[in-house]
Amino acid sequence: MTPSDVKATLSFSDGSASMDLPIYKGTIGPDVIDIRKLYAQTGKFTYDPGFLSTSSCNSTITYIDGDKGELLYRGYPIEQLAVNCDYLDTCYLLLYGDLPNESQRQDFHARVTNHTMVNEQMQFFLRGFRRDAHPMAIMTGLVGALSAFYHDSTDINNPQHREIAAIRLIAKMPTLVAMAYKYSAGQPYMYPKNDLSYAGNFMRMMFATPCEDYKVNPVIERALDRIFILHADHEQNASTSTVRLCGSSGTNPFAAIAAGVACLWGPAHGGANEACLNMLEEIQANGGVAKVGEFMEKVKDKNSGVKLMGFGHRVYKNYDPRAKLMRETCHEVLNELGLQNDPLFKLAMELEKIALEDDYFVARKLYPNVDFYSGIVQRAIGIPVQLFTAIFALARTVGWIAQLNEMIADPEYKIGRPRQLYVGAAQRDVKPLSER
Ligand code: ACO
């Protein structure tokens, strides 16, 4: 971290001694005020629920400028990565800091491909779930269960263990998500086929059966690969912070990633694409495009509790650059599959149009987020809505691992332990039952 010449001075209106706080500069982005000695020197904590003004770490992985609508992985703009690289190149970049050259690329692809199968025993573990279990409930269980199968990669303090855990997780996530799907559909699992691409292999494991093979459509393969690239990392969001916090206790990488999967499930985070499609289906069932105006009135009414799912973002107060790329992919896929006139997709485009012009959304800088379009693409491809968040988890796994490994390798890393402002009862005595 580069110290700034400027210092912040914290002073108090009751005359207590003021305190100088160091300021650090990042490569780009806002400076940070270092408050690590605040409690020791003043006996006070900071208060920042939701972490609106708090940097929890320093990181070299991902940079977001929410006002400009900019996203960089290791310095490279997402727009360039989405066009020039595939998902495994992006994984290499996030994990190791730079894009691979030809031999590094071949080696990395081969290493990931060698680990796509999961221990055969995982099938029996999966059988314990109800057939109608939510795929994210299954994924939380399956990812955590990996630590019971791969004992040689559970020591988070051992760099070799971290490396092999990273490769295993990236390689096995598509297999696990496809198994969760096949289980719910009552179909036999399909083993990975390692001469296919990462995205192509996933699609085949999803849609082939032992009696009928699946021919990978290159437009759809590329679309899925793009979904994976765009969701690969997003700096210190809720699930990534969960992974860091969980991993900070020294737990094994599979357990830490399982915590990330659990956090991602929520509708304000990774569950948004599922929530968005459910919303579209509900509007469709209640009258479709003709009822969009009425629905929008509800969204704008604060008492209704209705939100336009797939719109808005905590960080982006401009068009999410991932949404722009996904919008392009969305149109390509709908054209390829001849679905431009599908009523649900027409409804989505109508909602997008209204929201982009409506004062309520314009004034609050609420733009469609990546999940709005990725949900539409996934539905068009034939992926069940309930599986959307699991696919997000598949893609984000590399980001979680890169962030976790960065934290563990940081000499300043400590177990994460936020403090609180206690506003409960002051100390009091337990009264006998008859007097309570
Ligand atoms: N629909 C209607 N109004 C909205 C929406 C929305 N989707 N999002 C925000 N607003 C309104 C809020 O009511 C608030 O209005 P006010 O100023 O009149 O009170 C204003 O816009 C600012 O919103 P905040 O809640 O302060 O924004 P915040 O940054 O806390 O929330 C969030 C961001 C959670 C993503 C929110 O926009 C939301 O719930 N969106 C829908 C869910 C969604 O799509 N989530 C995906 C996030 S992207 C991802 O995880 C990959």
User: What is the chain's percent helix, strand, coil content, to nearest 5?
Assistant: 55, 5, 40
**Atom of ligand 1 at shortest range from CA of 268:** 45
| Greatest alpha-carbon span in the chain | 80
Tell me, rounded to whole angstroms, the distance of Cα 124 from its chain centroid.
28
| Binding site membership of 375 for ligand 1 (Cβ less than 6 Å) | no
Region 149-165 average pLDDT: 92
How many Å lie between the centroid of ligand 1 and the Cα of residue 433? 47
| pLDDT tens string 176-215 | 999 999 999 999 999 999 999 999 999 999 999 999 999 9
State the average pLDDT for the chain: 94
Ligand 1 pocket member 308 (CB < 6 A): yes
Give the closest residue (by CA) to ligand 1 atom 17.
364
Confidence of residue 271 (pLDDT cuts 50, 70, 90): confident
Whether the pLDDT of residue 173 is over 90: the answer is yes
Eight-state DSSP code of residue 317: S
Q: Is-catalytic flag, 313?
A: yes
Tokens of 332: 């390509």
Q: Compute the distance from residue 76 Cα to the ligand 1 centre, in Å.
A: 28
Q: Model confidence over 304-333: pLDDT tens digits?
A: 989 999 898 888 888 889 999 999 999 999
372 close to ligand 1 (CB < 6 Angstrom): no
| Any atom of ligand 1 within 6 Å of the Cβ of 395 | no
Distance from C-alpha of 326 to C-alpha of 82, rounded to nearest angstrom: 10
Question: What is the number of the ligand 1 atom nearest to the C-alpha of 269?
Answer: 50
Find the mean pLDDT for residues 267-288: 87
Pocket flag, ligand 1, residue 253 (CB < 6 Å): no
C-alpha angle with apex 109: 103 to 110, nearest 5 degrees? 90
pTM recorded for the entire structure: 0.92
311 Cα: distance to centroid of ligand 1 (angstroms): 7
| Candidate from 280, 307, 367 with most ligand 1 atoms within 8 A of CB, to mutate | 307
The count of C-alpha atoms lying within 13 angstroms of the C-alpha of 130, restricted to the half-sphere facing its C-beta, is 5
Q: Is the minimum distance from the CB of 90 to ligand 1 under 6 angstroms?
A: no
Measure 265 CA to ligand 1 centroid, in angstroms: 17
Is 20 one of the catalytic residues? Answer: no
Task: Give the residue whose CA is nearest to atom 12 of ligand 1.
Answer: 364
Give the start-end residues of each E strand in 15-131: 19-25, 32-33, 62-65, 70-73, 76-77
